[in-house]
Amino acid sequence: MEANTLIDPSAPVGVFDSGVGGLSVLRHIRQALPREDILYVADSAHAPYGSKTPQQIQARALALAEFLAGQGAKALVIACNTATAAAAPLLRERYGMPIVGMEPAVKPAVAATRSGVVGVLATSGTLQSARFAALLENYGRGVRVVTQAAHGLVESVERGEVDTPQTRALLWQYLEPLLQEGADTLVLGCTHYPFLRRLIQSLVGEGMTLIDTGAAVARQLHRRLEAAGLLRQDTHAGVEHFWTSGDAATVQRIIRRLWEDEKIEVHRL
């Protein structure tokens, strides 16, 4: 790809998710791209996306992308598996900038499994998507992939309940069947779930390999920006700016906890 001379490399990167789950991706982006300014939108008023129709998700994705483009974003990251499945093609048609999406890490999980059984924990919207069906078709052969729709986990993370007895009980309800099926590798198929990693690992044991795609997304964003000539080259230390469609005070409290920074300010979208 030729360098894009119409976009300023010092422009920010836009990231959006149905809520605060995309912060798990944002952390990897920050590590991979320390010079980039990042705009993050948590669509908390409309979370979770997993129970919405593709048309509803597309409408939200378009609204958030339009906001981020209006803020001068030079690239977009759809930090949500469900939104990627529903809306990535639509956004790529509409915007002439790099757009990076998410997908459950079936391919690396298939490579990692020793028992030949891979568990996938995701929202129903992701599991029912054509994109996920294609992943299984392309990479799932030769192993058994056991899927589990995990209703309520997104809401738990949105409330900041990443280590409560209630969240532990809910998780065990979803994890126990995967263990009984012999899964030794677990795909965290929603960007909210890495915030439950410690709790999940304590329930399934150290013998279970947990895989998410945050680092892969950050690498892909780096590649896309570099190919387009949009990597920021100065010595600027990147900063983050946050918005939400939900209650700003509530989301600010949760983001400060998950991002481990009490100085974060979250603005109402």
pTM over 0.85: yes
- Read off φ and ψ for residue 215, nearest 5 degrees: -65, -40
Q: What is the average per-residue pLDDT within 62-75?
A: 98
pLDDT digit string, tens, across residues 92-110: 999 999 999 999 999 999 9
190 catalytic per annotation: yes
* pLDDT at residue 5 in the model: 54
pLDDT higher than 60, residue 28? yes
Q: What is the average per-residue pLDDT within 203-222?
A: 97
Beta strands in the chain (DSSP E): 13-17, 38-42, 75-78, 99-100, 117-122, 144-149, 185-188, 209-211, 240-244, 266-268
Domain ranges of the chain: 13-102+215-268, 106-212
80 catalytic per annotation: yes
Q: Which residue of the set 78, 80, 211, 218 is catalytic?
A: 80
Q: What is the assigned CATH class of domain 106-212? A: alpha beta
Which residue carries 């950050």 as its tokens? 218
Question: Do the domains at 13-102+215-268 and 106-212 have one common CATH topology?
Answer: yes
pLDDT higher than 80, residue 6? no
Q: What is the average per-residue pLDDT within 61-81?
A: 98
Q: What is the average per-residue pLDDT within 166-176?
A: 98
* pLDDT at residue 3 in the model: 47
Q: Would you say domain 13-102+215-268 falls under CATH 3.40.50.1860?
A: yes
Beta bridge partners of 36: none
pLDDT higher than 70, residue 4? no
Q: Which residue of the set 77, 190, 216, 248 is catalytic?
A: 190
Q: What is the average per-residue pLDDT within 141-156?
A: 95
Q: What is the average per-residue pLDDT within 150-174?
A: 96
pLDDT digit string, tens, across residues 176-212: 999 999 999 999 999 999 999 999 999 999 999 999 9
Percent of the chain past pLDDT 90, that is, above it, reads 96
> Is 141 strand, coil or helix?
coil
